[in-house]
């Protein structure tokens, strides 16, 4: 599998619009890997993970071609992971719908839009040839689904519970990915499911939103909790010396520049994702 990160930022991107902290100032001065747009990643050019408020930016400036992407896993409906306003655009030449896969709670908004559009198509008051077409598929925790050639299993994330946030286990061709955004330390049911699966992950992408030691919320992780999570996966047999760990969902709260965090994470054998990073898994 080939994974490309388009957006690796936390909720407000980096630099944050009104912020004058050291990290945001550095991002403005240096640019490059210090600039982080909001969440989006693409597997093999065909399966997206999240579609944030910055999708327009990814299409306009980073070469993303969403005309070719028909399947989107959505972790949860926060705007930095799922932005439904693009579904209101009038389009031409869209023959096939884009399929969104997400929890019941996070899918309520998009489902209402899609159902309204479909009713209007049926009534003849809206032309289906002129509007973005979409289908919504509801995922349940721990129930695997097949999407294209991938087996996808949603796990319960420790995030805003009302949104039924999801982590994803993605398997294909004997390789496996654990996508853990947004989440704090894993719930015991997620740990047990992973342990029982016997999967040894090839790649793990983890939430590293918080400054090390400043665990101001249980809904995200800092480097210490990422290390703890990696150790837990190793202890349970779900990671080994070949498992690659990457940190992402990074904003100014982390209080490290990309280079600083990269050096610190390297001490624990982890890499730090950046916008545009590609990984062969």
Binding site for Zn ion (CB under 5 A): 16, 19, 21, 24, 78, 80, 182, 252
Q: Please, what is the minimum distance in Å from the beta carbon of residue 51 to Zn ion? A: 13
Structure tokens at 167: 């982590």
Which structure tokens are listed for 83? 């932005």
Helix (H) or strand (E) holding 195: helix 188-197
What does residue 34 show for φ and ψ, rounded to 5 degrees? -80, -15
Contact between residue 155 and residue 142 where contact means Cβ atoms under 8 Å apart: yes
Backbone angles phi, psi at 126, to 5 degrees: -135, 135
In degrees rounded to 5, what are phi and psi of residue 67? -65, -25
Q: Shortest Cβ distance from residue 16 to Zn ion (Å)? A: 5
Q: Which is nearer to Zn ion, 58 or 252 (CB)?
A: 252
| Pick 254 or 270: Cβ nearer Zn ion | 254
Q: In terms of DSSP bridges, do strands 166-172 and 175-180 run parallel, antiparallel, or are they unpaired?
A: antiparallel
CB 10 → Zn ion: shortest distance, Å?
A: 6
Q: In angstroms, give the least distance from the CB of 48 to Zn ion.
A: 15
Beta bridge partners of 137: 101
Compare residues 9 and 111 and give the one whose CB is closer to Zn ion. Answer: 9
Q: Can you tell me the distance from the alpha carbon of 236 to that of 198, in angstroms, rounded to the nearest whole number?
A: 9
- Comparison of 199 and 254: residue with beta carbon closer to Zn ion: 254
Min dist CB 44 to Zn ion, Å, is 23
Closest CB to Zn ion among 21 and 148?
21
Residue 249 and residue 179: Cα distance in Å, rounded? 11
Nearer to Zn ion among residue 197 and residue 219 (C-beta): 219
Residue 159: CB minimum distance to Zn ion, A: 5
CB neighbours (10 Å) of residue 236?
Answer: 14
């Amino acid at each position: 599998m080939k994974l490309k990160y388009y957006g690796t930022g936390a909720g407000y991107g980096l630099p944050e619009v009104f912020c004058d902290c050291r990290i945001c100032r550095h991002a403005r001065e240096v640019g490059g890997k210090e600039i982080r747009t909001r969440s989006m990643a693409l597997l093999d050019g065909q399966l997206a993970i999240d579609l944030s408020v910055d999708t327009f930016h990814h299409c306009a400036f980073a070469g993303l071609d969403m005309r070719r992407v028909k399947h989107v896993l959505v972790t949860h409906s926060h705007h930095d992971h799922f932005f439904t306003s693009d579904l209101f655009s009038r389009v031409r030449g869209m023959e096939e719908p884009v399929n969104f896969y997400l929890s019941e709670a996070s899918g309520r908004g998009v489902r209402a839009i899609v159902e309204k559009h479909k009713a209007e198509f049926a009534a003849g008051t809206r032309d289906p040839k002129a509007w973005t077409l979409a289908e919504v598929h509801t995922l349940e925790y721990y129930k695997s689904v097949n999407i294209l050639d991938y087996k996808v299993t949603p796990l319960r994330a420790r995030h805003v519970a009302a949104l039924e946030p999801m982590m994803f286990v993605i398997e294909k061709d004997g390789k496996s990915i654990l996508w853990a955004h947004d989440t704090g330390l894993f719930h015991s049911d997620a740990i047990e499911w992973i342990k029982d699966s016997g999967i040894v992950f090839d790649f793990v992408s983890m939430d590293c939103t918080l400054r090390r030691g400043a665990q101001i919320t249980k809904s995200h992780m800092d480097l210490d909790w990422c290390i703890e999570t990696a150790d837990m996966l190793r202890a349970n047999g779900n990671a080994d010396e070949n498992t690659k760990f990457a940190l992402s969902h990074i904003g100014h709260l982390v209080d490290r520049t990309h280079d600083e965090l990269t050096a610190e994470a390297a001490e624990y054998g982890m890499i730090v994702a950046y916008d545009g990073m590609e990984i062969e898994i």
